[in-house]
Amino acid sequence: MRIVIQRVSFAEVVVDEVVVGRIDAGFLALVGAEEGDASADAAYCAEKTAGLRVFTDADGKMNLGLKDVNGKVLAVSQFTLLGDTRRGRRPSFVRAARPEAAKLLFDEYVQRVKQFDVPVETGTFQAHMQVSLNNDGPVTILLDSRRLA
């Protein structure tokens, strides 16, 4: 799985002019599942998401995690994270997981983050979404379960 984590002071997702997910301080997590990803990938990414310490403490150092700041996660599925742009000008998405498998992995990621007592809101899988955010910092982290070594 490939996940882009953005530390935000605000984020929301709108589908058909209706807000389907909204958070204040926390993470916007753009989640992409790759062909061959499994439950272990969702578990790894969820643990990393819940445990990231990128919020500023009283000394101005990034030492605090989501639970320390009462943060939430807004998880949004995004297959385009698997776009391969090495050849040509149009990305290839052949490495992205099929929608059925990607939805299962996305849902598992969300459930596993919740198991760390972190509140999670979501976008709508396979919908055209309008995502708004206020990136705080900016702080943006890439998680990739295939790059464990």
- pLDDT per position in the chain (149 positions), as tens? 999 999 999 999 999 999 999 999 999 999 999 999 999 999 999 999 999 999 999 999 999 999 999 999 999 999 999 999 999 899 999 999 999 999 999 999 999 999 999 999 999 999 999 999 999 999 999 999 988 64
Going from the N-terminus, what domains does the chain have, and what CATH number goes with each?
2-144 (3.50.80.10)
Give CA–CA dist 46/48, Å, rounded. Answer: 5
User: Per the residue annotation, which of 80, 111, 126, 140 is the catalytic one?
Assistant: 80
User: Per the residue annotation, which of 27, 79, 106, 122 is the catalytic one?
Assistant: 79
Q: Catalytic: 140?
A: no
Q: Catalytic: 80?
A: yes
The number of helix segments (H) and strand segments (E) in the chain equals: 2, 8
Q: How does strand 26-32 pair with strand 72-77?
A: parallel
